Amino acid sequence: MTRFATVICAAVAMAAGAYWLTQSPSNTPANPLIGSAEAQEADIDTSTIVEMVQGAKDAPVEIVEYASFTCPHCASFHEGPYKQLKKDFIDTGKVKFVYREVYFDRYGLWASMVARCTGPDKFFGLTDLIFKEQSNWARAGGPSEIVAALRKIGLKAGISNEQLDACLQDATRAQTLVAWYQENAERDGINATPSFVMNGKKVDNQSYAEFKKLIEAELGS
C-alpha cells in the first residue's frame, strides 16, 4: 500500500465520523465535531500518545514498524516474519520493537482506537487479532458494519462495551493520534506500509532472511 494521507483535517473528519457513527441512528456525521479550518489551526499536543513497545528498553537494536491496520502486506508481516522476529530477537533482549500506526483511511484509525483502548498491556494482543481478522472486518460492509466487527474483536479481547464506547467516541484522542502519526511519518520519510526504521535508518520491507541479516549486522554478529 503506497497511498499516504497528508492532511490532518481530512483524517479528523474521519474521526468525527466515528463519533457520530456510534451516536446517530442514521449513521450520518451531519454535524462534524471539528471543522477543517479549526483542524488546520489546532495546536495539538501529541506527547499524550503512548509508544507501543516490546522488548528490552536498552536493547542494542531498535526497530520501528510503521503499519496500517487496513494494509494487507502489514497483516502478512504480522502473521509470519514478525512472529519469527519476536522469537529470535525481541524476546531474547536483542531488539526493542516499536509499533507506530499509519492512517490511510478512517477504518484504520478506528482499528487503532480499539487496539489502544486499554493501553499497552493488551495492545499487541489486539493488534494480532485485528490483523488476523483483517479480511473479515475490513470487508464487513459499510462504516456501521465495520465498527460492529471491530467491536466484536475488542469484546473478544475482554474490553467492555462501555470502554469501547468511550474509546470510539473520543474525537480529541482521534485528532491527536492523526497529528502524532503525521509527525512521525514526515520525520522518518514514511510513504508506504509496512516500513521500518532500524537504529535510525529506513529499511524496506523484505524477506525475513534478509531482515535477519540486517539485524545481525547491527549486532555485530
Specify the pLDDT at position 10: 45
Assigned domain for 153 exists: yes
Assigned domain for 2 exists: no
Tens digit of pLDDT per residue, the chain (221 long)? 444 443 344 444 444 444 434 443 333 332 232 333 334 445 789 999 999 999 999 999 999 999 999 999 999 999 999 999 999 999 999 999 999 999 988 999 999 999 999 999 899 999 999 999 999 999 999 999 999 999 999 999 999 999 999 999 999 999 999 999 999 999 999 989 999 999 999 998 889 999 999 999 999 96
Assigned domain for 3 exists: no
Assigned domain for 1 exists: no
Specify the pLDDT at position 26: 33
Assigned domain for 93 exists: yes
Specify the pLDDT at position 42: 58
CB count within 10 Å of CB 44 equals 18
Residue ranges making up the domain that contains 92: 8-219
| pTM (predicted TM-score) | 0.83
3-state class (DSSP) for residue 105: coil
Assigned domain for 76 exists: yes
Assigned domain for 195 exists: yes
* Total number of domains in the chain: 1
Specify the pLDDT at position 206: 86
Specify the pLDDT at position 205: 84
Assigned domain for 61 exists: yes
What burial class does residue 56 get, using C-beta atoms within 10 Å of its C-beta: 0-12 exposed, 13-18 middle, 19+ buried? middle
Indicate which CATH number applies to the domain containing 169.
3.40.30.10
